[in-house]
Amino acid sequence: MLEGDGQIRKRKRGWMGSYGNIWDVIQGFEYLLDKLEDYKAMAERFPDPEHFRININLGWQKLNKYYQLLSETSIYYAGLALHPAYRWKWFDRKWAGNPEWIRQAKRIVHDVWHYEYRETRLPRMAVNDEKPAPKRRKTYSNPFQEYLEENRCAEPATQGDDSL
């Protein structure tokens, strides 16, 4: 299967590098909206930019419609907020101009914790002395992967950091 940039997708069952990670969804929307804004600016340099602008705006509206529906499914916010490389810093940086969005995301994640997981008891796990399998190194890159890498916020939080 080809991606838009012509690279072959490297999909393997169970490999976390495949597309569709929960924490990538919101970032994917942000990436696509940013690209549409770039293309809108680029279309201004064309001899007859009006039809390009119209189509870019229609694409932006459709993308925004689905972006707004994300708030109905808390997993996308929780996945990004709980990911050690992004946490709340990602929201603070990307949505700095929209503090209400940040408050809403924090409320959504808090409500999931409070009403669905707070009282959950974890089963005891057997201790495993085996070493974990080594991580696979990615040998390819595409614009979206580069965007994700650029937006990593920090090293994973230390133990005891419960700043949800």
Predicted local distance difference test score (pLDDT) of residue 11: 44
Max Cα distance, the chain (Å): 67
Q: Which residues contact 101 (CB under 8 A, 6 or more apart)?
A: 91, 95
For position 17, what pLDDT does the model report? 53
What's the pLDDT at 158? 60
Residue 102 pLDDT greater than 90, yes or no: yes
Rounded Cα distance, 152 and 91, in Å = 11
Q: What burial class does residue 150 get, using C-beta atoms within 10 Å of its C-beta: 0-12 exposed, 13-18 middle, 19+ buried?
A: exposed
Measured in whole angstroms, how far is the alpha carbon of residue 84 from the centre of its chain?
A: 13
Mean pLDDT of 55-81: 93
> How far apart (Å, rounded) are the C-alpha atoms in residues 8 and 2?
5
- Is the model more confident about 154 or about 94? 94
Query: pLDDT value at position 133?
Result: 76
Sorting pLDDT into bands at 50, 70 and 90, what band is 13?
Answer: very low
- Cα–Cα distance, 64 to 101 (Å, whole number): 14
pLDDT of residue 24: 92
pLDDT for the residue 109: 96
- State the chain's mean pLDDT as an integer: 82
Average pLDDT over every residue of 72-97: 95
pLDDT tens per residue, range 24-54? 999 999 999 999 999 988 988 888 888 888 9
